[in-house]
Amino acid sequence: MESKIIASLDLTDESKLVRMAEEIGQSVFAIKINWPTILSLGKGIIKRLSETSNIICDLKIADIPNTNRLIMEQIATQHPWGVIAHLFTGKDSMESIVKAAGDAKVIGVVAMSNPGASEYLNGNYGNLVEDAKSLGCYGIVAPGNDYNLLERISKMKGNLKIFSPGVGAQGGGYNKALLSGADYVIIGRSLYENPDPIGYIKSLERK
Amino acid sequence: MESKIIASLDLTDESKLVRMAEEIGQSVFAIKINWPTILSLGKGIIKRLSETSNIICDLKIADIPNTNRLIMEQIATQHPWGVIAHLFTGKDSMESIVKAAGDAKVIGVVAMSNPGASEYLNGNYGNLVEDAKSLGCYGIVAPGNDYNLLERISKMKGNLKIFSPGVGAQGGGYNKALLSGADYVIIGRSLYENPDPIGYIKSLERK
């Protein structure tokens, strides 16, 4: 069965990152990297890691349409499996990402997992989900540590896939997130800081 | 008199970028760069350009606190004059940026200049300005092409400095933005695509 785990590898040491990606890449659905890795190692690391797994660039892009396009065009040259961008900066901004994404799947943020996300962002999830559908996103990001919110989002997701962070170090549970509607569960520190990451992955999937 | 112009140089060709920065760096208040430049040239370009002007990294950082910290720590090693981050993802996310910023001034986005920004973001400007104050931001980003909104923000800004994009290619006027409350006006394509950028800067400041 295909794994539903996405490993978030926020590593900046190239040999450690590549070693970890080679170790777990085929045991997870995808590996997610973020700006800290790209800032340290350059965007070429995206293509390099693609040899080990599907790569998702979690860039939370949140700029005006022209800048979003310029960012996305450069990322697209490295052919990641997917890219994460914000929807709250408006439909024009996301439209620009989708147009420039090339073969990368676009995943829009409809709610986040940090406590502060409830202050402004998360209350807009309903409209943001509709925007993600109408703009041709492949999926959405919704918190894996807020099961009620995740369930509400899951009921309206249509064909969108739900990618849920906040599991592990941020408190969410793997099975509870899946039962609440997540299609993929993003696990970061609790996986890559684990002395036996493959054992950890298997223990999650056995439950 | 100190210039109130910030040149947004969205260039990815190193020699063209450095030549432009050397030409205009001392005639403007600062040079702003964004992810496309860093993706092309690496984060070392921040320090390199600092020899020519104050450098503002317009990264619109919009992630959870831990990731914001990891991004900001790497940027801080290059000692930019300032960095732009979102407030919309919550107070905890911005707090994390301010803590990790080192000697860089933190500028929070309270409203954006693209049409889509009115759908979700811009309606929150009142609370976002208060967050910027309470979290110790140096300044805020507010659109230079929406004079009414800029005036309303300017009345509540306290000690914050207002940085206004959207002037030039996006339709805003330099003088109107300053009269509406901008402290600094960000000019991009209409400046760096101008065959005589210094002449253009002088013509704006003469009016």
Task: Provide the percentage of residues in chain A whose pLDDT is more than 90.
Answer: 91
Residue B96's contacts (CB-CB under 8 Å, 6 or more residues apart) are B65, B66, B68, B69, B72
Query: Each residue of B68-88: pLDDT tens digit?
Result: 999 999 999 999 999 999 999
**Residue B155 in tokens:** 């009345």
A206: tokens are: 């056995």
pLDDT digits (tens, 9 = 90+) for A147-161: 999 999 999 999 999
A36, A59, A112: residue with CB nearest B74: A36
> What residues of chain B score a pLDDT lower than 70?
169-171, 207
pLDDT one-digit tens code per residue, A66-102: 999 999 999 999 999 999 999 999 999 999 999 999 9
pLDDT value of residue B168 = 77
Q: Which chain A residues are Cβ-neighbours of B12 within 8 angstroms?
A: 70, 74
Q: Is the pLDDT of residue A41 over 80?
A: yes
Distance between CA atoms of residues B108 and B160, nearest Å: 10
- DSSP strands (E only) in chain A: 5-8, 30-34, 54-61, 82-86, 105-109, 139-141, 161-167, 184-187
State the average pLDDT for chain A: 95
Q: What percent of chain A has pLDDT over 70?
A: 98
Domains within chain B, CATH numbers bracketed = 5-206 (3.20.20.70)
Nearest to A116 among B10, B40, B90 (CB): B90
pLDDT at residue A118, rounded to an integer: 97
Our CA-based measurement puts residue A23 at a distance from the nearest CA of chain B, in whole angstroms, of 23
| Average pLDDT of chain B to the nearest whole number | 95
Task: With CB atoms and an 8 Å threshold, state whether A128 touches B116.
Answer: no
Distance (Å, whole) CA A109 – CA A178: 18
Look at the alpha carbons of A59, B188, B165, B1 in this order and tell me if their dihedral is positive or negative.
Answer: positive
Residues of B in contact with A170 (CB under 8 A): 64
pLDDT tens, A119-172?
A: 999 999 999 999 999 999 999 999 999 999 999 999 999 999 999 998 876 667
ipTM for this prediction: 0.96
